[in-house]
Structure formats: C-alpha cells, structure tokens
Structure 1
Amino acid sequence: MPSFLERVNDKSETLTASEKKIIEQLEKHEKPFLLSMNELSNLSNVSEPSVVRLYRKLGYASYQELKVALAQEHAGNVPSFSSDGNEIKEADKADVVFEKIADQLSSAMVMTKDKLNVDQMEEAVEKIAKAARLFFFGQGLSGTIAEDGAHKFMRIGGTTLAVKDPHYQAIYASHMTEEDVVIAISHSGETVNIIEVVDMSKKSGATCIIITSNANTTLAKMADILLLTQAQETENRSDAMISRLVQLALIDTLYTRVEIAGGSDIKKAVNQSRLAVTRMKK
C-alpha cells in the first residue's frame, strides 16, 4: 500500500494551491494524526471541503482513514510511543507499561479537571434530571461509552436508551421533542453520522449535550451544552484508550450529580433499581 508521501508525489501535478497548503501543514506538524478536520482546515487557511477533496484525491475513503495511515507511518519512524516523558518502549514489561498508562490517565484527568466548565456541567445535570427521555448516541468505540452511560442513568427511572446504529439514531432523532435530551459522544467531534443525527435531534427540539475533545470541531459547535475531555493520545493507541476512560469519569460525575441533586423522586428511583438488582444476587 502506498504511503502518504508516495500518494502526494503521484498526484503532485494535479494538486491545487489549497491542497498544497493542507499537505504542508500535515508534513510540518509534529503529530498530524491528532488534528481534527476543523483544526487542519484552520491551520491551512482553507475550507473543510478542501480537506475532503484532498483525502479523496489521495485515495483515502475518509478523513479518519487518512489519520490512521499517518499515525501508522509516524509510528514506524519514531522509536517511542509517547512524548510526555512516559514513553512506552519495547523493553518495558507489563508492570512498567501499566504504570506509564496510569500516569498518562492521571495527567488526562488533571487536564480535564482544569478545563471543566462547571456552569455547563450543572446545566447538563438540570436538563438530564428533567428529561422525559434520555438518549446516549455513540458509534464505534464511543458506542461502548454510550452503553455504559445508559446503564448508569436508567437507574433514575424514566426512559433511557443507548443507540449505536446510525439508522436507529436517525429514527429516534426524527421523533424527539423539547422534553428529550441527547448525550452524543465523539472523541474526534467529526464523526459524520453523529453530526447528522445531532442536527436532526436539534431540529426536533431536543437538548443536545456533546462530549468531545475539542471545542473547534463541527460537533462541538452544534452543542447546546459542551463538555470537553482532555487527553494526549499517542500513535500506538488509535482506539483513544485514555480518552474513553476520561469520558467514563465525566459521565460518572454527571450521574452522581443528578442522583444527589435530583430530589426525592430520583433518590427513590435509584433505591428501587438497587433493590431490583440485589434480589437477583444470591
């Protein structure tokens, strides 16, 4: 399979001025695979459609495929997998790897805490507590976070659903009302299907709470309530492991606040849920 540079050289005669600006940014950025499409377009002073036209011209099916290719090529050119002083090396045994990952997670939690918008969090708590229906939308690995979130919040009673299939998401979104709340999860903030169903949900009147990593992404700009997680992912973790753990902690925080601040009805519902589960244990 041709490398990014080989693809660029092959198409060099057909590249436009805008596309050359994008390539220049990708080549000089230390870790281009961590850039969102919005960030790349801003750095290059071009539109996002220009980025789309470039990755298609180079033979990539999606922006995510381009980022994965860049990450894999970058991994082949550098000896270590992290730039934060906790490099994971081939010689590291399991206990050392665990310690370094724990340090990276700790750093990500501190960064997220420092960036936490308390007003946005408390507004989210208020909206969730009053919601007639609560939907968690996520796709791929973010879908597992959505399922975990729904599993927690169903304890407060009412209708709580985790929806991972984009067609199901679209159907639910088309029937939402102002009493519904959507929690959409996307680390990149550029997942096309999630952007589409959030747009549909907003048009139906639902409140959309977005959990993502960057305020400049397309999805973040659509948020009624924006909750940001901070994590330095590295090229050997394309599945955004640290980010997922921080997202889980953020959702746990929301749930705990809703349970505490939600009044007697929610406390009663949570106790009923606990009792129901206890009856199934020996």
Structure 2
Amino acid sequence: MSSFQQRIEQKKNSITASEQKIINQLNQHDKPFLLSMNELSLLSQVSEPSVVRLYRKLGYASYQELKVALAQELAESKSTSTDSHDIQIGDQADVVFEKISDQISSALSMTKDTLNVTTIEQAVFALQKAKRLYFFGQGLSGTIAEDGAHKFMRLGETILSVKDPHYQAIYASHMNEQDVVIAISHSGETVDIIDVIDIAKSNGAQVIVITSNRNTTLASMANYLLLTQAAETNQRSDAMVSRIVQLALIDTLYTRIVSLGGDQLISKVNQSRLAVTRMKK
C-alpha cells in the first residue's frame, strides 16, 4: 500500500495550490493525525471541501482514514530511525521489560490519538440496547473474547464467549436485531470469523469489530469499527502488543456502560463481586 508521500508523488501533476497548502501543513505538523478537518483547513487557509478533495484524490475513503495512515507512518518512521524499542541479544530481563512496557505504552498512545469517539459512543449505545451479547474470537483473539465476556457478565445480562467456529455459526444462525457481536481479529482476514459475521449480519445482528487495519474484509463488515494501533519490532509482532490494546478498548466499552447505567448497574456489578467473594476462603 502506498504511503502518504508516495500518493502525493503519484498525483503531483494534479495537485492544486490549495491542496499543496494542506500538504505543507500536514508535513510541518508534529502530530498531523490530531488535527480536525476544521483545524487543518484554518491552518492551511483553505476551505474544508479542499481538504475533502485532497484526501479523495490521494485515495483515502475518509479524513479519519487519512489520519490513521499518518499516525501509522509516523510510528513506523520513528521505529526505523531508532532501535531503542528493539530487544537485543544482550538485553537483560529488566531492560527487556522496560522495552516491552514502552512498546505497549506507545501502542496505547497511538490508538488513543486515532480513536473515533463518535463510533465508540454509538457502539456503547448499541450495547446498552442489546438483549444478548456475543464475543467471537479464534486463537489468541479467542482468549481476548473470553476476557471480555467475563467482564461484561458482571452486568447480569446474557453474555457469551464463543471460540469454536462451528458453535459461532450455530449461534449466528439464530441471531436477530436484539443481538450484538463483538468480533475480535488482529488480522481482520480470519476466514471463519468473516463467515460467521456474515451469517450474524444477515440475521440482523449489530457487529462491533476490533481489529488492526480498516482495509480488511472484517473491518468492512463492521457496524462499529474500533482500530488498534501498534508498531512491529524485530523481535515481536504487533499482534502481541495489540492484545493489550484490545483489552483496553473492551474495558473502555464496559466502563462507559457502567458509568451511564447509574446505581442499577453498579448494584449488579457489586452483586457479582459479592458472589465471587463468598467463594474465597
């Protein structure tokens, strides 16, 4: 996939003076992915439609997609310019721990900078209305799904975590408009997950997708898309760090629902805690 600068080079003969002002601002800004469209247009002294025309000309589906691409490229640039996060053979355990912590902190920061607040709030609203909530994941993502279900079941609703694709297909075949599925897949191209989400959506279920790339099949199927951001290093796949970010996104949804639910939901959470406490000796 072409980078931002490569796309500009490909379209250089059709770039207008107004569009060049926008490009200059994006290149000069330390964190261009934090700029709203209004802020970018004001800094560039052009109209917002000019910003829209530029990102479309460069092949981005939305301004949000442009910002995500800029954030990813900035992170990759920092990663290639310094090996400070890469774990070396001679690094002892304390240094390894510090570098892993830095990788996780960086991934959380990158994800925070590119979050779409509107999408998260809409996802929370869908979860509030749901009669049944399913967490679908396979492999390592299945472990994240189990953790998410364990958290949400404290709310006293019908919550299921399903890892087996055959079970997922059966559940999906009986879903309706009252169901919400949280589908977790780092790659966004796991065939079985794509198949069962297709079944779920055909039956009217709403789908929240947590993945790392919006340009994937699963991402395109989402009613609400939550993207993780993480830079890959020589020793570690970004999938490992993204698991932490996935958990943080699920925890964000849960905490937001509890805060909106008031005393009634807090009472249910406390009731769940009490039930577990009674089993401890």
Q: TM-score, normalised by structure 2?
A: 0.69
Contact 1:135 1:182 in 2 (8 A): yes
The correspondence of residues 241-252 of structure 1 with structure 2, limited to 5 A, is 241-252=240-251
The correspondence of residues 250-261 of structure 1 with structure 2, limited to 5 A, is 250-261=249-260
Contact 1:166 1:194 in 2 (8 A): yes
Contiguous gaps of at least 5 residues in structure 2: 1-78
Residue 236 of structure 1 is matched in structure 2 by 235
Are 2:213 and 1:214 aligned? yes
* Paired AA for residue 147 in structure 1: E
Contact 1:81 1:236 in 2 (8 A): no
The correspondence of residues 117-156 of structure 1 with structure 2, limited to 5 A, is 117-156=116-155
Q: Secondary structure at the match of 1:262?
A: helix
Q: How many residues in Structure 1 have an aligned counterpart in Structure 2? A: 203
Could you tell me how far 1:265 is from its partner in structure 2?
Answer: 3.2
Are 2:156 and 1:162 aligned? no
Residue 198 of structure 1 is matched in structure 2 by 197
Query: Aligned-pair RMSD on alpha carbons?
Result: 1.8
Residue 176 of structure 1 is matched in structure 2 by 175
* Paired AA for residue 158 in structure 2: T
Could you tell me how far 1:81 is from its partner in structure 2?
Answer: 11
Residue 97 of structure 2 is matched in structure 1 by 98
Q: TM-score, normalised by structure 1?
A: 0.69
Residue 59 of structure 1 is matched in structure 2 by none
Show CA shifts across 1:28-83 (max 9, x none).
Answer: xxxxxxxxxxxxxxxxxxxxxxxxxxxxxxxxxxxxxxxxxxxxxxxxxxxx9996
Could you tell me how far 1:198 is from its partner in structure 2?
Answer: 0.7
C-alpha spacing 1:83/1:183, structure 2 compared with 1 (3 Å): farther
Residue 84 of structure 2 is matched in structure 1 by 85
Q: Aligned partners of 2:202, 2:82: CA distance in 1, in Å?
A: 42
Q: Aligned partners of 1:232, 1:108: CA distance in 2, in Å?
A: 7
Q: Aligned partners of 1:197, 1:157: CA distance in 2, in Å?
A: 26
Structure 1 stretch displaced more, 266-275 or 242-251: 266-275
Contiguous gaps of at least 5 residues in structure 1: 1-79
Contact 2:135 2:182 in 1 (8 A): yes
Residue 26 of structure 2 is matched in structure 1 by none
Residue 280 of structure 1 is matched in structure 2 by 279
Identity %: 71
C-alpha spacing 1:122/1:280, structure 2 compared with 1 (3 Å): same
